């Protein structure tokens, strides 16, 4: 049985890694680092920088992330993608040094991340330890210096896909949208909403915008497109709240 440690590393700022996370990286025998393709080398470089900052001496094993087949229905597409990632983890684990194996997980392993679900596909099942990390939700609200919720107000954490398909979440006063590559807030134009948006949260090239949705929305769409073209990728999150 392999000890598999899933270490949350925050949203791009090496200072987001907790003392517990740094200690785990120093104690790991092997660290798996994904390569996500051309234009995304800085994601792997950041992981190496975090290991160096933590003083980790683990053996580093890199592996190539598979690409999702966009021709398949969404659920099947994701399931097959997770299956392939698990196979690549398993192949990488065969070259691991004796002792715990760590994976550096963007944000937190338990929130809008599939690392735990992928780990369940590994056979024989590893013994899993989770080290929590700073989430994109925390990084976003901190960057804008706003509270996560209003007094006694409900919050819904959802995806752009659900926002497009179902509209404003029923009963929500605040909605935080994750994993939205389509700027799905555009489907809510005309509603009395305020948006707080952030891209590359926690990183040196962090960008922020906020305001009434009807005014800020078009600016955000334009800013996001330019940033993605410049860097080859973007991770962003936004919070919507009824005015």
Q: Quickly name the fold that domain 137-242 has.
A: 3.30.950
Q: Does domain 3-134 have CATH number 3.40.1010.10?
A: yes
> Chain-wide mean pLDDT for the chain?
91
Does the model's pTM come out above 0.75? yes
What per-residue confidence (pLDDT) applies to 40?
A: 64
Which residue did the predictor score with more confidence, 96 or 123?
123
Strands (E), the chain: 3-8, 30-35, 59-64, 101-105, 127-131, 155-159, 174-178, 193-199, 207-212, 236-242
d(CA 214, CA 188): 9
* Model confidence pLDDT, tens digit, residues 97-130: 789 999 999 999 999 889 999 999 988 888 999 9
* Model confidence pLDDT, tens digit, residues 176-221: 999 899 999 999 999 999 999 999 999 989 999 999 999 999 999 9
Please say if the pLDDT value at position 35 is more than 90. no
> 88 pairs with which residues across the strands?
none
What per-residue confidence (pLDDT) applies to 27?
A: 95
What per-residue confidence (pLDDT) applies to 142?
A: 96
Lowest average pLDDT, out of 18-22, 60-64, 105-109, 221-225, goes to 60-64
Residue ranges per structural domain of the chain:
3-134, 137-242
Please say if the pLDDT value at position 36 is more than 80. no
What per-residue confidence (pLDDT) applies to 82?
A: 92
Q: CA angle at residue 212 from 210 to 218, to 5 degrees?
A: 75
Q: Which residue from 241, 215, 225, 91 is spatially nearest to 153, judged by alpha carbons?
A: 241
Based on C-alpha coordinates, what's the Rg of the chain? 19
């Amino acid at each position: 049985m392999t000890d598999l440690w899933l270490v949350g590393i925050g949203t791009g700022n090496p200072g987001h890694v907790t003392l517990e996370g740094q200690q785990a990286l120093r104690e790991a025998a092997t660290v798996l680092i994904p390569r996500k393709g051309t234009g995304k080398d800085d994601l792997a470089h950041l992981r190496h920088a975090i290991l160096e900052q933590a003083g980790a001496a683990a053996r580093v094993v890199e592996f190539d992330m598979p690409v999702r087949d966009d021709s398949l229905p969404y659920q099947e597409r994701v399931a097959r993608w997770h299956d392939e990632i698990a196979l690549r983890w398993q192949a990488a684990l065969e070259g691991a040094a004796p002792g715990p194996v760590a994976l550096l997980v963007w944000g937190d392993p338990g929130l809008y991340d599939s690392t735990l679900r992928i780990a369940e596909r590994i056979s024989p099942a590893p013994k899993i330890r989770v080290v929590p990390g700073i989430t994109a939700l925390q990084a976003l609200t901190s960057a804008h210096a706003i509270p996560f919720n209003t007094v006694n107000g409900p919050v819904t954490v959802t995806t752009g896909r659900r926002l497009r398909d179902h509209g404003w979440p029923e009963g929500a006063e605040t909605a935080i949208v994750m994993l939205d590559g389509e700027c799905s807030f555009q489907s809510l134009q005309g509603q009395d909403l305020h948006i707080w948006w952030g891209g590359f949260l926690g990183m040196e090239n962090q960008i922020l915008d906020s305001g009434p949705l009807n005014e800020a929305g078009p600016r955000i769409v334009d800013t996001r497109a330019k940033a993605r073209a410049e860097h080859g990728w973007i991770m962003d999150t936004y919070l919507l709240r009824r005015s």
